[in-house]
């Protein structure tokens, strides 16, 4: 029988990613709490949150490096205009350790539930060390859930997933040192993660099938290395570094009109995306499949330099037919001629030349060795990654079944002193 050890603390912070370390740092900087008065809990082995978890090839941020920082901890040493994931994670490790947050943090620990004790007016947070199996019940006055949403991989609902006999994984769970050399790879999805992965693995694979449900707008991010002289200048002249950081937010404020439907800026951005598409993609049929059908900003815009040019490679095929099942060795999709009117209306299929067998069955089969899911994360469970029970005994998932509702985007009635969702 597993025993549970009770421990008393004033504040529990769930998550050691960006928000978790920012909160911990603020508590120390302002003198609000000492290191022994709060605890940060994270299931990973180090600080960094989503940047610690996501190690897939090409993982990077689509926000400029000098903007994607804490204003109290500017970094003069970014190596690129848009930093890669490992460098971002190291930044948050350094940020956390500037005030020795490792003294207030337990890693490799998952939170099972948080329950409000009405009689004691305290929170009881049950956690488990994933390495030892030991369980602890933290009894706290305040809890902050900064677990975020980018850690629960989502998979497409395609029958036969368990039948596949090759290797398969989600981009968020990329195996360490995995070689794809000479493999036939099926990549499901064309969102940010998938679009970053595909160009990086393309040179190694024998064949890459990219399955697209719908396409969005793409713009070049013009990424480049930051020259040593500029990094040195930022290091010795902090006011200049601060001004450069602030200038990005002035730029963002000036461009906010491009996200407003129907504005001149919005239409011009749509046209810029189409021009980029025309310049980059050589085959007109493939170009049509990648042509966005909605207004700019209706779907997350991708800022990538090498996405469109990927489809000029001989070993890459863009598949817009709907996958209908996965077999032991392949992905089977409907051919355009076999789609219903409703399915045709749901998205572009492009031009497709059927074999005699495909014309007879209405199906196309693509043999693969590896299946990669670039299908994003499960953001629909409003209750989060563990259950929180309020003073009425109801969980936050039950409270938010219809829609999330909070006070000042932070607090929830019947969940006293619980914040951060």
For residue 204, being part of any structural domain is answered with yes
Is 199 found in the same domain as 133? Answer: no
Is 184 found in the same domain as 143? Answer: no
Q: Taking 80 as the threshold, does the pLDDT of residue 151 lie above it? A: no
**Residue recorded with tokens 């290395």:** 225
Is 214 found in the same domain as 131? Answer: no
Which of 94, 113, 148 is the C-terminal boundary of a domain?
148
pLDDT digits (tens, 9 = 90+) for 208-252: 999 999 999 999 999 999 999 999 999 999 999 999 999 999 999
For residue 242, being part of any structural domain is answered with no
For residue 251, being part of any structural domain is answered with no
Domain containing 367 equals 161-221+266-373
Is 188 found in the same domain as 140? Answer: no
Residues 210 and 232 sit within 8 Å (Cβ to Cβ): no
Is 174 found in the same domain as 136? Answer: no
Residues 326 and 295 sit within 8 Å (Cβ to Cβ): no
* Structure confidence at residue 215 (pLDDT): 93
Dig out the tokens for 76 from the structure: 């003069």
Q: Taking 90 as the threshold, does the pLDDT of residue 143 lie above it? A: yes
pLDDT digits (tens, 9 = 90+) for 93-120: 999 999 999 999 999 999 999 999 999 9
Which of 87, 117, 148 is the C-terminal boundary of a domain?
148
Partners of 124 in the beta sheet?
A: 115, 139
For residue 259, being part of any structural domain is answered with no
For residue 49, being part of any structural domain is answered with yes
**The length of the chain, given as a count of residues:** 421
Q: Which long-range contacts (CB under 8 A, 24 or more apart) does 84-91 make?
A: 84/58, 84/59, 84/60, 85/51, 85/54, 85/55, 85/59, 85/60, 85/61, 86/51, 86/55, 86/59, 88/48, 88/51, 88/61, 89/46, 89/47, 89/48, 89/51, 89/52, 90/48
For residue 308, being part of any structural domain is answered with yes
**Residue recorded with tokens 């999805």:** 189
Which CATH number covers residue 176?
A: 3.50.50.60
* Structure confidence at residue 248 (pLDDT): 96
């Amino acid at each position: 029988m597993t025993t549970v050890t009770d421990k008393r603390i004033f504040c529990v912070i769930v998550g050691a990613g960006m928000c978790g370390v920012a909160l911990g740092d603020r508590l120390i900087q302002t003198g609000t709490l000492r290191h022994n008065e709060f605890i940060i809990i994270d299931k990973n082995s180090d600080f960094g949150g989503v940047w610690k978890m996501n190690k897939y090839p090409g993982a990077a941020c689509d926000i400029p490096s000098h903007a994607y920082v804490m204003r109290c901890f500017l970094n003069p040493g970014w190596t690129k205009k848009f930093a890669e994931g490992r460098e971002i994670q190291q930044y948050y490790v350094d940020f956390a350790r500037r005030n020795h947050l490792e003294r207030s943090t337990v890693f490799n620990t998952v939170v099972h539930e948080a329950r409000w004790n009405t009689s004691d007016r305290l929170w009881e947070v049950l956690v488990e060390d994933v390495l030892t199996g030991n369980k602890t019940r933290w009894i706290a006055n305040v809890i902050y859930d900064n677990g975020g949403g980018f850690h629960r991989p989502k998979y497409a609902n395609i029958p036969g997933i368990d039948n596949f006999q090759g290797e398969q994984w989600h981009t968020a769970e990329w195996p360490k040192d995995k070689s794809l050399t000479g493999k036939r790879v099926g990549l499901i999805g064309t969102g940010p993660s998938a679009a970053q992965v595909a160009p990086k693995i393309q040179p190694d694979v024998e064949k890459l099938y990219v399955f697209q449900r719908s396409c969005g707008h793409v713009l070049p991010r013009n990424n480049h290395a930051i020259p040593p002289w500029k990094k040195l200048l930022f290091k010795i002249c902090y006011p200049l570094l601060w001004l450069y950081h602030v200038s990005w937010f002035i730029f963002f404020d000036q461009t906010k009109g491009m996200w407003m439907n129907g504005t001149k800026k919005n239409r011009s951005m749509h046209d810029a995306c189409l021009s980029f598409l025309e310049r980059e993609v050589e085959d007109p049929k493939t170009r049509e499949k990648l042509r966005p059908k909605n207004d700019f900003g209706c779907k997350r815009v991708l800022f990538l330099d090498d996405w469109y040019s990927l489809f000029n490679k001989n070993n890459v095929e863009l598949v817009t037919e709907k996958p209908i099942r996965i077999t032991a060795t392949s992905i089977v999709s409907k051919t355009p001629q076999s789609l219903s009117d409703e399915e045709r209306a749901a998205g572009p299929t492009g031009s497709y030349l059927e074999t005699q067998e495909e014309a007879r069955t209405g199906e196309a089969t693509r043999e693969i060795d590896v299946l990669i899911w670039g299908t994003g994360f499960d953001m629909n469970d409003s209750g989060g990654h563990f259950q929180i029970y309020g003073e009425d005994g109801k969980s936050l998932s039950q409270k938010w079944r219809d829609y999330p509702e909070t006070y000042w985007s932070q607090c929830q009635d019947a969940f006293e002193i619980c914040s951060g969702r």
